[in-house]
Amino acid sequence: MEHPRRGHPAGADRPGRASPADCLPPSPPVPGPPSPLALGLALEAAGDPGAGRAFRAAWDALGRSDPTTLGVSLGGYRPEELVHLLADKIAPHR
């Protein structure tokens, strides 16, 4: 078996003829769109009045969520914490 060229991974499909892409590090995952909560917090920090709309969208999304899987999808936050946060954020924007 031929040895791959120096600097190329040993597991290349064609020994000695690795693709330049085989040498690149893996790409980081592409983030999805910001959640309505994250968008609301960013808009609020910028003083944008659209923050209230984003917080209401987060509230609506929370209401449509499956309670059995909600805790996992919140990245460690408790659902009760999110309810209180959104209630506090929506109140001034009504």
Model pTM score: 0.60
pLDDT in tens, 34-43: 789 889 999 9
Structure tokens that stand for 41 in this block: 């917090």
Cβ contact 93:59 at 8 Å:
no
Cβ contact 68:46 at 8 Å:
no
- Strands in the chain per DSSP E: none
Q: Which residue did the predictor score with more confidence, 12 or 71?
A: 71
Q: Rounded to the nearest 10 degrees, how much is the dihedral formed by the CA atoms of 77, 83, 88, 94?
A: 140
